[in-house]
Structure 1
């Protein structure tokens, strides 16, 4: 019988600090600055930067960059506010760029 593996997690590609759980992925169908990105409901071991308004593919949003708490690599952003009603579900959620995270415990 195989041993029990802990929760599937995503880590910072640079330092392997755990930043998100697989179970917290809402969607893998997002676009980041560097390509494909994942929308997470929660994040851990991150630093949330200053808020700023950005015009993204889906309209104007107030976002804050999120960085690894250990190495300070920018990994994506947090949606603080969505100005369009159809985008409100993103508020309080996190974007991690696929190229900035790696799988652990898979």
Structure 2
């Protein structure tokens, strides 16, 4: 029956552009700038901004903001590099702020 409905998606809260699949969630236990955030293995229809070093709760990381490919709303960031060995699993992954995305096709 799931095949008839299609995949469960997350979309930009502003314009409803599809940005990730529910199946790509790694963790819902992250903190963003504006509250809860989800860690995803993949993202789509987003623009990755310039890399910058940021001191986050788990240490120093090189990150790049990700914006909606349609309306340019900043939705979260991409982990480009983690300096702590215990944080390396985040490299190449995406944070979407819960307040910036909505469920679509559920």
The structural deviation recorded for 1:4 is: 2.1
Tell me, which stretches of 5 or more residues in structure 1 are unaligned? none
Q: What's 1:22 paired with? A: 22
Greater than 4 Å deviation, 4+ residue runs: none
> What TM-score comes out, normalization by structure 1 length?
0.97
Per-residue CA deviation, residues 60-89 of structure 1 (Å, 9 max, x unaligned), is: 000000000000000000000000000000
Q: Per the alignment, in what secondary structure is the counterpart of residue 66 of structure 2? A: strand
Per-residue CA deviation, residues 4-44 of structure 1 (Å, 9 max, x unaligned), is: 21100000000000000000000000000000000000000
The 1-side partners of 2:53 and 2:2 are apart by 49
Q: What's 1:62 paired with? A: 62
The 2-side partners of 1:3 and 1:69 are apart by 27
Judged with a 3 Å threshold, the aligned counterparts in structure 2 of structure 1 residues 2 and 46 are, in CA distance, closer, same or farther, namely closer
Structure 1 segment 1-106 matched on structure 2, within 5 A: 4-106=4-106
**Aligned Cα root-mean-square deviation (Å):** 1.4
> What TM-score comes out, normalization by structure 2 length?
0.97
